[in-house]
Amino acid sequence: MVEDQLRARGIRNRLVLEAMAKVPRHEFVPIDQAAAAYEDRALPIGEWETISQPYIVALMTEAAEVRPGDRVLEVGTGFGYQAALLVALGAEVTTIERNASLAERARQNLGRTGYQGRVEVITGDGTDGYAAAAPYDAILVTAGAPRVPQALVDQLADGGRLVIPIGSREMQQLHLLVKHGAELSDTVLEACQFVPLVGKQGWPQAPWPRFFG
């Protein structure tokens, strides 16, 4: 996975590659998806959500420039894989998941694999962020938003990085925003497809029959 899907496609950050090699991805997918865990595609995890393909996970993590000791917010916990990678990079992680059953499954997965100690899993509306642990050095949003939620911008530290897919329900562009005082720089990384970001500052609740990410 690391050599063929990540390094070969331009992921260069050594720490990200090492974390991707270390964290057992098969422990963060449903049992019936374990055989496909290391394929370069998104996999359904139930509740209309997915675990993103390894390349997109690596791209977002590299873009966020996570460093040891950083305080990081993840929006969209899923089964906990991205949170485990952030811990492997040395971050202090808060991750928020609107679906209570998925949040509990993430806690179990993180505990079983030894990553729970530096992760706080919150059940709630991720479009509001989590002000209690702000400011954050990096925020990663693992669902597609119609616009950048202002709450997430407000919770970024000065110099903080926000990686977020923005666009329609069906197609987005992955953006890297960096906060400089009252200003935000914005770099478009590449096209992507994620499940919709549902919440007060995202999309309204509705079922979606397709799987992205």
Residues in the chain: 213
Candidate from 11-15, 65-69, 190-194, 206-210 with smallest mean pLDDT: 206-210
- Give the whole-angstrom CA distance, residue 69 versus residue 55: 24
Q: What is the 3-state secondary structure (H, E, C) of 39-89?
A: CCCCEEEECCEEECCHHHHHHHHHHHCCCCCCEEEEECCCCCHHHHHHHHC
Question: What does the pLDDT look like over 126-151, one tens digit per residue?
Answer: 999 999 999 999 999 999 999 999 99
Say what the pTM is: 0.94
Task: Tell whether domain 2-192 is in CATH 3.40.50.150.
Answer: yes
- Give CA angle at 16 (33, 175), nearest 5°: 85
Centre a 10 Å sphere on the Cβ of residue 88 and count the other Cβ atoms it contains: 20
User: Which helix H or strand E contains 112, and what residues bound it?
Assistant: helix 100-113
Angle at alpha carbon of residue 139, lines to 120 and 122, rounded to 5°: 25
Domain segments of the chain as ranges: 2-192
Q: What is the pLDDT of residues 91-128, one digit of tens each?
A: 999 999 999 999 999 999 999 999 998 999 999 999 99
- Concatenating the DSSP letter of every residue in 127-148 gives GG--GGG--EEEEEE-SBBSS-
Written as one letter, the residue type at 208 is W
Q: Is 198 exposed, middle or buried (0-12, 13-18, 19+ CB in 10 A)?
A: buried
185 among known catalytic residues: no
Per annotation, catalytic residue among 52, 101, 168, 185:
52
**Mean pLDDT, the chain, integer:** 94
